[in-house]
């Protein structure tokens, strides 16, 4: 439950926060407070890469605020999360290597490869160091990253730790407007992975693919466009590829009889979702290797 001393003042000048629900996901969580004086909603966003508290200066949060959180803050936090994870992994590696030397096992073999009796002892040691600040905050008590391009109609505070206690640091709009917005790590990985798929496809085809255009993800609402699909024209036909939840979609328009036959046979053989229509054919590819295989065969059949 929110209380007056936990959070900064509302933009109306009072501090009468009342519980307002929240959201919990595997990647972040929010706790909402409703101002008892004016009804504005303040949001405490907790992400492994940072902590932020925001309150609108206007009557309520808007769609533009949501786009800013998803398109700016989540990339910032994901990059910070990567730094924290790296520091934590380095800390853990030093811990188990020191333990290994003390107990006469190979310090260059991870704990999973140790004798069971040694592993049991190490797990007890690990349970203890995982409670320490060195593990929980491996980068120290530095505050959360500053929010680039903070909307002028939002008041914001970043979370920091002082002697283990969360404190709120107000954000000065003038100091963050020109901060760079990093590319989302998810988009970076996405583009690199599909770059490898297209390179492998070109190698098997023996010719380059044409320039590709990015389109919004056709499977789920991707407001920040960090996992877009790709489309290009191949001998007068439109080719579309992109990720769903666990598979990649491979689709081509105006299919030839050879393309229809390939999709029908392959869909049944591989036990995967497929569709053969008059104006398009489509396959769900389980993994990148199958994506390349399907794409190469459909392009050859075009």
* DSSP per-residue string spanning the chain: ---TTTSPPPTTS---EEEEEEEE-SS-EEEEEEETTT--EEEEEEETTEEEEEEESSSS--HHHHHHIIIIIHHHHHHHHHHHHHHHHHHHHHHHHHHHHHTTS-TTS-GGGS-HHHHHHHHHHHHHHTTSHHHHSTT-SPPPPP-TT--TTEEEEEEEEETTEEEEEE--HHHHTT---PPPHHHHHHHHHHHHHHHHHHHHHTSPPPP-EEE--SSS--TT-SS-EEEEEETTEEEEEEE-SSSEEEEEES--HHHHHHHHHHHHHHT--EEE-SSEEEEEESSHHHHHHHHHHHHHH-
Residue 4 has pLDDT above 50, yes or no: no
Q: What is the pLDDT of residue 67?
A: 87
Higher pLDDT, 127 or 4: 127
Please state the rounded mean pLDDT for residues 51-68: 92
Domain 185-301 -> CATH class: alpha beta
Assign 142 a pLDDT band (cuts: 50, 70, 90).
confident
156-200 tens-digit pLDDT? 999 887 666 788 999 999 999 999 999 899 899 999 999 999 999
pLDDT digits (tens, 9 = 90+) for 258-293: 999 999 999 999 999 999 998 999 999 999 999 999
Whole-number pLDDT of residue 222: 67
pLDDT value for 167: 87
Residue 221: pLDDT band with limits 50, 70, 90: confident
Domain ranges in the chain?
Answer: 1-180, 185-301
pLDDT in the model for residue 163: 64
Give the predicted TM-score (pTM) of the model. 0.75
């Amino acid at each position: 439950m929110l209380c007056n001393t936990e959070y900064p003042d509302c933009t109306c000048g009072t501090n009468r926060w009342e519980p307002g629900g929240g959201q919990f996901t595997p990647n972040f969580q929010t706790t909402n407070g409703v101002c008892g004086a004016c009804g504005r909603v303040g949001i405490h966003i907790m992400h492994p890469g940072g902590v932020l508290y925001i309150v609108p200066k206007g009557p309520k949060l808007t769609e533009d605020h949501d786009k800013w959180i998803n398109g700016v803050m989540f990339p910032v936090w994901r990059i910070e999360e990567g730094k924290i994870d790296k520091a934590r992994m380095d800390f853990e590696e030093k811990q188990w290597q020191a333990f290994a030397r003390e107990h006469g096992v190979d310090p260059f073999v991870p704990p999973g490869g140790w004798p069971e009796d040694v592993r049991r002892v190490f797990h007890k040691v690990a349970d203890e160091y995982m409670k320490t600040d060195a593990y929980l905050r491996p980068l120290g008590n530095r505050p959360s990253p500053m929010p680039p391009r903070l909307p002028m109609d939002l008041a914001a505070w970043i979370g920091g730790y002082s002697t283990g206690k969360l404190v709120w640091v107000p954000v000065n709009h003038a100091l963050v407007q020109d901060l760079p917005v990093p590319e989302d790590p998810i988009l970076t990985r996405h583009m690199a992975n599909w770059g490898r798929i297209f390179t492998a496809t070109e190698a098997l085809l023996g010719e380059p693919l044409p320039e590709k255009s990015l389109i919004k993800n056709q499977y789920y609402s991707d407001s920040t466009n960090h996992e877009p699909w790709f489309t290009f024209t191949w001998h007068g036909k439109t080719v579309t590829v992109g990720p769903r939840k666990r598979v990649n979609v491979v689709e081509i328009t105006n299919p030839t009889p050879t393309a229809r036959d390939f999709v029908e046979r392959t869909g049944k053989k591989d036990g995967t979702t497929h569709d053969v229509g008059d104006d398009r054919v489509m396959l769900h590819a389980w993994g990148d290797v199958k994506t390349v295989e399907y794409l190469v065969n459909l392009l050859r059949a075009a």
